[in-house]
Amino acid sequence: MKSELSITLIQTNIFWKDISKNINQISKRLEGINGKVDIILLPEMFSTGFTMNPENVYEKMDGKTISWMKDMALKYNSAIGGSIVIKERNKFYNRFLFVKPSGKVEFYDKRHTFTYVGEDKKYFSGKNKGIIKYNEWKICLRVCYDLRFPVWSRNNENYDLLIYVANWPSPRINAWDRLLCARAIENCCYSVGVNCIGEDPNKNKYPGHSSAYDYYGNLISDKLSNNSENINISIDLQSLLKYRKKFGFLKDQDSFELC
């Protein structure tokens, strides 16, 4: 079992609906990673920006972005994750892709589509749980608005690391900061979130604040930054297991089922 896991959060601006430009930009950012990392995380819809016009930017599961992710995972011997617009069986999904160095692709479809801007009218809600294994860690994949729904993030599933990728705007960034911390505390796990920066053509501003919290709710990334930068963190599974053994909070969790 690999006890330590190193993660790099790529906090970046996103070029609106320009897949090639975003891929090229991120490729250059990856060249700046120092040393070996286990997981590289990118924001929600990192290749297009958060769009309500999926018909103009969608890809298939054998498309350009996934091919690039496989190349990068192999090149850096790291898993790489982030969400993109996928069309499958004539439906659009906001899909979190987690590509392993072996080329295997795991995925999670965003369950809570953002009704405030009509995402529910364009994208289908996912049904899969989003629990995967990587380097003996159990990881729960989630996307942006999912962060507001603690029942879905708990769902009687035990995992070690909770990951959120997002395009979370400035007016509600206070909720992002606090909910990421809360999810770590209540689930007795590490909670990591990567957000974008900049402004889209709809005048939505994104302030970054990509961050990571441990099971106590302590901020373990250096700071809450609004700059374009790579944020590096390291987490330890043995420390987490000792915490769970000592306190046993998850043993007292409520039992429930989701429809």
* List of residues 6+ apart from 150 with CB closer than 8 A: 182, 183, 186
Based on the residue annotation, tell me whether 21 is a catalytic residue of this protein. no
Q: Apex CA 74: angle with CA 93 and CA 220, to 5°?
A: 75
Which residues does residue 140 pair with via DSSP β-bridges, in sequence order? 131, 162
Which of 44, 59, 106, 119 is flagged as catalytic?
44
Instruction: Say if residue 102 is exposed, middle or buried (CB neighbours under 10 Å; 0-12, 13-18, 19+).
Output: exposed
Which of 59, 100, 144, 181 is flagged as catalytic?
144
Based on the residue annotation, tell me whether 110 is a catalytic residue of this protein. yes
Which of 17, 70, 100, 110 is flagged as catalytic?
110
Based on the residue annotation, tell me whether 44 is a catalytic residue of this protein. yes
Q: Which residues are catalytic?
A: 44, 110, 144
